[in-house]
Amino acid sequence: MDDACGLVVIGLDPGSRVTGYGIIRELSGQVSLVETGTIRTPVKKQMSTRLGVIHSRIAELIGSHCPVEAAIESVFVSKSATSALKLGQARGAAMAACAVAGLSVAEYEPSKVKKNLVGVGNAPKDQVAFMVAQTLGVKKPDWAEDASDALAIAICHLNERRMRRLTGR
């Protein structure tokens, strides 16, 4: 919902150990940072506990900032089946928190996010981080890599949303 408060979007870069999040607002064509950070799970605890931490923390963020849409990194091929399964479970916990709050969740491949922000799908992370900072007008960002990735996903979503609106898709 675009209104006087703008459109608030949460971007998520899920991981079983660290989940990055970035909340941004678009108002009158200007994008600004609301909050960003990471959710670190207790690695020595059972996976169910770690997934609960991801779910509950994202639910808290949604409750605090009232985003109207969410964007998440889509699954990519992992080095091992175990890693892929854990990543999928973390994505599921994040997506469930969004769904319970009634948010639609858009999914973007890492190469699409990079191409959207930098212009090439294989851009290095530091170039993506630079473009995130430029877009948000942050001079010296001190956020973690996972948080930067989550912000990139959120910015990509706003760009894609704008393009769909312009092209009527």
Active site residues: 13, 73, 146
Query: CA angle, 109 as apex, 92 and 121 as ends, to 5°?
Result: 160
Contact 98, 59 (CB under 8 A): no
Residue 148 CB contacts under 8 Å (≥ 6 apart), including other chains: 20, 22, 36, 125, 128, 129, 132, 141
In angstroms, how far apart are the furthest CA atoms of the chain?
48
In whole angstroms, what is the distance from residue 27 CA to residue 98 CA?
22
In whole angstroms, what is the distance from residue 69 CA to residue 63 CA?
13
